[in-house]
Amino acid sequence: MAKIAMQKREKMVVLIGAVVVAVIVSQWLFSDRGPFRMYHQSLREVEAARLRLQDAQVVRDEALGRLQSSVALEGKLRNRGAFGLYSHVDRALQAQNLKGGQGARATLETQNTAVRSGAFEAVKLHLEGVSMEELLDLLLRIYSGENLIVLDRLDELRPADDGRGLVCDLVLVAPRA
């Protein structure tokens, strides 16, 4: 093999050319235009798929939780036996001494209209001149136990006109037995 003799200037031009070619090739390889473009795109797709999977798992967990709670509620409703919301609230009022006798401060009426006559029973409770403590004790007595009772509407909660206690109108709803 013959040895090629180059002058210093020629060696410098070849070296600069080699560096330029190396820079161009490395930019092509490691930029988004080269082979790494598909690699970076696949990384983005994997991250998007991971986020979709997490969202799907959250939705699944929420649906399972709703299903379990509805199964538990249906089981409680089947096992509770005969239950009447009107009589339950009436007993709570009598136990709190808010209904009956001379100082009756509560009235109770059924709200079972044609619209509600299906699967739910509703009662309207009007309290007048009760203290906040009496109201809370009454609600605690109504809600205690295994019965599913919901406060459907709180139409009025204000101080009484005579300044003694509160005036409260509310509607309670419970599933029929």
Q: Identify whether residues 64 and 127 lie together within a single domain.
A: no
116: CATH:
3.30.70
* Residue 137 placed within a domain: yes
Q: Identify whether residues 115 and 134 lie together within a single domain.
A: yes
* Residue 124 placed within a domain: yes
Domain, as residue range, for 139: 85-175
Q: Identify whether residues 94 and 155 lie together within a single domain.
A: yes
Q: Identify whether residues 116 and 147 lie together within a single domain.
A: yes
pLDDT in tens, the chain (177 residues): 557 777 888 888 889 999 999 988 887 776 666 567 778 888 999 999 999 999 999 999 999 999 998 888 778 777 777 778 888 888 888 888 887 665 668 888 887 765 556 778 889 999 988 889 989 999 999 988 778 888 988 988 889 888 888 999 999 998 876
Sheet holding 106-110, edge to edge: 106-110, 120-130, 166-175, 150-159
Can you give the pTM of this predicted structure?
Answer: 0.57
Bridge partners, residue 128, by sequence: 167
* Residue 16 placed within a domain: no
